[in-house]
């Protein structure tokens, strides 16, 4: 499971670096509502999530609680 988290983190960081348009979906409505977000916010969010996934993956691989 740790390897999967690390791979997802690398993908999220890659999307954050190379992504051109970022959207925020409204999950409460259940529809296809999309609201465009600024490029800076999208990159910061994607890279932060990627770093968190990598951190969780490393923690799982090391087996520390």
pLDDT in tens, 14-47: 999 998 888 777 677 665 556 777 888 889 999 9
Instruction: Round to whole Å and give the CA distance between 5 and 60.
Output: 9
Taking the complete model, does pTM exceed 0.85, yes or no?
no
Query: Would you state the torsion angle of the CA atoms of residues 11, 17, 22, 26, taken in this order, to the nearest 10 degrees?
Result: 40
- Choose between 10 and 30: higher pLDDT: 10
Measured in residues, the chain has a length of 65
Q: What is the pLDDT of residue 64?
A: 65
Q: What is the pLDDT of residue 23?
A: 77
Q: Which of 45, 50, 43, 48 is nearest to 6 (CA)?
A: 50
Instruction: Round to whole Å and give the CA distance between 47 and 14.
Output: 8
**Dihedral sign (CA 36, 41, 43, 49):** negative
Q: What is the pLDDT of residues 48-63, one digit of tens each?
A: 999 999 999 999 999 8
């Amino acid at each position: 499971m740790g390897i999967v988290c690390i791979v997802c983190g690398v993908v999220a960081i890659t999307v954050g670096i190379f992504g051109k348009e970022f959207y925020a979906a409204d999950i409460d409505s259940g529809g296809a509502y999309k609201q465009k977000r600024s490029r800076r916010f999208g990159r910061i969010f994607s890279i932060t999530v990627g770093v968190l996934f990598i951190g969780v993956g490393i923690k799982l691989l090391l087996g520390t609680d």
